[in-house]
Amino acid sequence: MKRKDDHDVVRAFQQLTTAAEDFVNRALRVKRIKAERSSLLAAITDAQLVLSVHRLPKDKEQEPKSATRSKSTWLLEEQIQRSKATLTELERRLQPLAVELEELQAKAQRAKGLLDMALATSDLGAA
């Protein structure tokens, strides 16, 4: 249980150091607290020196997160590949439809032209 206790102490020490550093960076540089700020900065420096020689063991809780993260990344990439393949297939299927639509539009334009011409000649004959 000693190793677990060390782990907890180091983690708490890191959190304390981070919080103190954030405080010092945000605190105003007023003359009346200059001494306290300087002593806090010295304590932070000492704490960071001690922490630099301690390595935290890998958390067993963190490993599944990274494994889950890589699995979810893999699943997302696979889904993207399937989506790209589906999109390519849809584009392939739509290509002939686009050509057919263009042909229908051209026929409709010709029919409209013939109808306009027929109406124009019938108006001339009636007048």
Provide the CB-side half-sphere exposure for 126 (13 A, CA).
6
* Residues making up the chain, counted from first to last: 127
pLDDT value at residue 57: 58
Neighbours of 119 (CB within 10 A): 10
CA distance 60 to 75: 23
Give the rounded percent of residues in the chain with a pLDDT score beyond 90. Answer: 10
Closest CA to 10 of 63, 42, 52: 52
1 pLDDT more than 50: no
String of b and e for 11-41 (b: at least 16 CB within 10 Å)?
Answer: eeeeeebeeebeebeeeeeeeeeeeeeeebe
Cα distance between residue 36 and residue 22, in whole Å: 15
23 Cβ neighbours under 8 A, 6+ residues apart: 40
Q: What is the pLDDT of residues 5-14, one digit of tens each?
A: 677 777 777 8
Question: What are the pLDDT digits (tens) for 62-95?
Answer: 555 566 678 788 888 888 888 888 888 888 877 8
Find the mean pLDDT for residues 49-55.
Answer: 72
